[in-house]
Amino acid sequence: MPELWLPGVVKKPIPQGANDPLIIPVGDVFHIAVSEAASLHDFFERSGGIESTGYIRRDGTIEQYRPLNVECDAQGDGNSWVRDGKRYGLNSWETQGMGEGEWTPQQIASIKFIIGWKHRNYGTPLRLNPGPNASGFGYHRMFKQWNKNAHSCPGSDRVQQFHGVIVPWMKEQAHPAKTPNITAILRAKTREARIAAAQKVASRGSSEAKAAAHDLLSAMTALHRAEQARDAALAALRKLERK
């Protein structure tokens, strides 16, 4: 199994309880703490059975309280389930803030970090969870099986952020735009084909490729103008020669 603690997090372990079985983590659910506390570690340590995998502060700092393979009781039937003799589960992340309001840009960045890291290291698909016991990423109120008290967590503004920011980002990461073919520039047989290929790289290539393509387009434009000036000068000389 990959690493059980995310890199760069503040580790504040909470002991595993008798009712917290080991799981195969297949996704993550994001919550709002309805708290401005800098940490939820002490609260969870004495809560008597309610806990979360971690906590994301407003400044983006991530605290992790449990290894990723230990169940946390935060989202009802999404905590864990058994299929084909194996226990799967979803990790849970509380976020600092009150019921209304948005995640800060730093919190959004940390949510993206968690999602990206889990995708790369655990193979979690970059998608909304298609069901309450399925792999992917979501938020607490997304399924009634996760939110049996029917509260609004993480709040309507944050739900809009999840669908308007996180979901499009996941789609982009899952299906990145193809890098324009630099080879097409080098193998172009006509000036027009080379310009068309360079324009594609200049608009959608990497930063280095864009810079090189822009330089090439500028050089080709200057060369074209020089060729036009040359042809005009030669035509004038030929006209003079005939007099």
Mean local confidence (pLDDT), 103-123: 97
The phi and psi torsions of 70 (rounded to 5 degrees) equal -115, 130
User: Which stretches of 48-175 are assigned E, i.e. beta strand?
Assistant: 54-56, 62-64, 80-83, 86-95, 136-139
pTM value? 0.74
Local confidence band at 178 (pLDDT 50, 70, 90 cut-offs): low
The per-residue pLDDT for 138 is 98
Q: How far from chain centre, in Å, is Cα 224?
A: 44
The per-residue pLDDT for 179 is 63
Does residue 205 carry a pLDDT above 90? no
Does residue 86 carry a pLDDT above 90? yes
CA torsion angle 204 209 215 218 (round to 10)? -30
**Separate counts of helices (H) and strands (E) for the chain:** 7, 7
Name all domains of the chain by residue range, CATH numbers in brackets.
10-174 (3.40.80.10), 182-242 (no CATH)
Mean local confidence (pLDDT), 121-148: 97
Does residue 193 carry a pLDDT above 90? no
The per-residue pLDDT for 177 is 64
Q: Which residues contact 2 (CB under 8 A, 6 or more apart)?
A: 121, 122
Does residue 224 carry a pLDDT above 90? no
